[in-house]
């Protein structure tokens, strides 16, 4: 049996069929040519350098990669970049003001100490923001908030402070 040979360098560009994708990200039109199988999460992080969108499980369970697609929260790991063609995508980078002033939801997370390592936070904020933007009345009971957060896993906080932050955010945004 021969020993394994060192293989030549892997090509820098994959040989996958490529497709042109044009969408709006955080208000800016972007156009890239990417592999058909590129996930929206990888598109945001690797093509656009927007690394605020985190990647955890890549099968839709952890919620870290949640962004807004067409104005509603969705999993960027369960969406192909090419599926977002023509859509408006909004990521965590667009939530705070340009001057660095935090969005009330972010402010509430800070005040309530609703994050420790912060890995899940971008997905949490994008999910909560999407719910606050829906015209539907919000259920701000303990159960209602837990249901709201059920698609986002946090392994640090035990959720208590995140629930408090959602209530605080509702106060700050006048949604009681």
Closest approach of Cβ 14 to another protein, in Å? 9
Q: Which is nearer to another protein, 57 or 101 (CB)?
A: 57
| 79 touches another protein by CB under 8 A | yes
Q: Which is nearer to another protein, 53 or 130 (CB)?
A: 130
DSSP character at residue 50: -
Beta strands in 50-129 (DSSP E): 66-69, 72-75, 88-90
Among 30, 32, 60, 111, binds another protein (CB under 8 A): 60
Going by C-beta distance under 8 Å and a sequence separation of 6 or more, which residues neighbour residue 134?
Answer: none
Look up residue 127 and give its two tokens.
């999910």
DSSP character at residue 126: H
Among 45, 63, 103, 108, binds another protein (CB under 8 A): 63
Q: Which of 24, 31, 58 is nearest to 42 (CA)?
A: 58
Main-chain dihedrals φ then ψ at residue 118, nearest 5 degrees: 85, 0
Closest approach of Cβ 97 to another protein, in Å? 24
Using CB under 8 A, which of the segments 4-12, 71-79, 100-108, 155-163 binds another protein? 71-79
Angle in degrees, CA 104, 105, 106, rounded to 5: 90
Binding to another protein, residues 22-41 (CB under 8 A): 36-37, 39
Binding residues vs another protein (CB under 8 A): 16-17, 19, 36-37, 39, 42, 57-60, 63, 66, 69, 72-75, 77-80, 82-83, 85, 127, 130-131, 134, 136, 146-148, 150-151
């Amino acid at each position: 049996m021969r020993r394994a040979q060192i293989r030549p360098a892997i090509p820098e560009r994959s040989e996958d069929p490529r497709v042109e994708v044009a969408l709006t990200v955080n208000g800016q039109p972007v156009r890239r040519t990417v592999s058909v199988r590129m996930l929206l999460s990888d598109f945001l992080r690797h093509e656009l350098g927007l690394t605020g969108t985190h990647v955890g499980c890549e099968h839709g369970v952890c919620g870290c990669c949640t962004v807004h697609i067409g104005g509603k929260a969705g999993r960027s790991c369960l969406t192909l970049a090419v599926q977002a063609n023509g859509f408006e995508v909004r990521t965590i980078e667009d939530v705070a003001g340009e001057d660095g002033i935090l969005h009330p939801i972010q402010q509430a997370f800070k005040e309530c100490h609703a994050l420790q390592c912060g890995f899940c936070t971008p997905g949490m904020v994008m999910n909560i923001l999407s719910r606050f933007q829906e015209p539907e009345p919000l259920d701000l009971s303990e159960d209602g908030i837990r249901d709201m957060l059920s698609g986002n896993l946090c392994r640090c906080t035990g959720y208590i402070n995140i629930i408090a932050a959602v209530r605080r955010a509702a106060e700050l945004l006048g949604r009681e």
